[in-house]
Amino acid sequence: MNNFDSTFDYIARVLQKTARKAYEGYVISRLWHKINDPTVKLVPQQYVNRASNLYALTDVYFPQFKIHIEVNEPAHYKNNASIQKDRKRKAQIEKNTGHRVLEIDCRKKIELINGDIDRIVNFILEQKRELILKNQFIPWDEKENTGLFWRRKNTLDVDNDISLSTIEEICKVFNINPSKIKRGFQRTGGAILPANSDILVWWPAEKTRNGWTNCEKFDFSEIEEKNSDRVKSLEHYEEYINLNQRRIVFFKHKDILGIDKYKFVGIYVLNESKSRRRKSLYWKRKSKKMQINPFLIL
């Protein structure tokens, strides 16, 4: 019998990771234990677009309620410039996402900090009750880290923070035969979508593999595909430049907890003009959302 609890494992890793920052670790631990509800999902270090070329990593995010928590250590208030910078950052996040950003001021005495945390906990639980009454609350389910879960959902959306643990799980999303991705003892870098020969399910990695490097912008708006061997890189360029291929991309990286994951980052098309100009393949994101079967860009 397998008694492994993936939710427990995830939360334990989150608390271990955040404990390295004393104030942040205290606040996140108290938030989680006061909420005391395994159906509520907590995400540390959530990436957020602030403006066209700006991003932020918020300390804690509760995706079911679109609530971010910022743990402001005393250094955030060292001068007026720092205070104004934080205010601008908060305003940009709220405007660009429509989410709410709540702050914990860690200059206060512990009783007041605990009071602020308790008020946030009560607010989150009240948000949950309201969603339940509207029949809109979706409980956190660690099965969302499996391919079959998303295949049944039939929709992939970057905003849902979809990360899978293996290439086999990616194959399950699209009903791809895993034997098709093996090349001897190695694996191919992607697989053609069944019934859509112009669409590749691609799993590039942030680390160099066999000379192949996939240089992505931090917001994943673009990925460059090239090889350190210039001859191979040019041959690859010539093979794909006229194919008009679309790619569903799961980018392999280490997540905030240090675990290898394949993160869904969107649907990409070739930036043909840039690729021809530089004789290298540049893939630009066309959409963050798609329907799985039948394939449809949303």
Contact yes or no for 270/285 (Cβ under 8 A): no
pLDDT of residue 137: 92
- State how far the Cα of 38 lies from the Cα of 152, in Å rounded to an integer: 22
Does pLDDT of 104 surpass 60?
Answer: yes
Pairing of strands 246-254, 196-202: parallel
- Which stretch of 72-76, 115-119, 160-164, 237-241 has the lowest confidence by average pLDDT? 160-164
Q: Where are the domains of the chain?
A: 6-133, 144-297
Q: pLDDT of 48-92, one tens digit each?
A: 877 766 788 899 999 999 999 999 999 999 999 999 999 999 999
- State how far the Cα of 98 lies from the Cα of 108, in Å rounded to an integer: 29
Does domain 6-133 match CATH 3.30.450.80?
no
pLDDT of residue 37: 96
**Average of per-residue pLDDT across 233-253:** 92
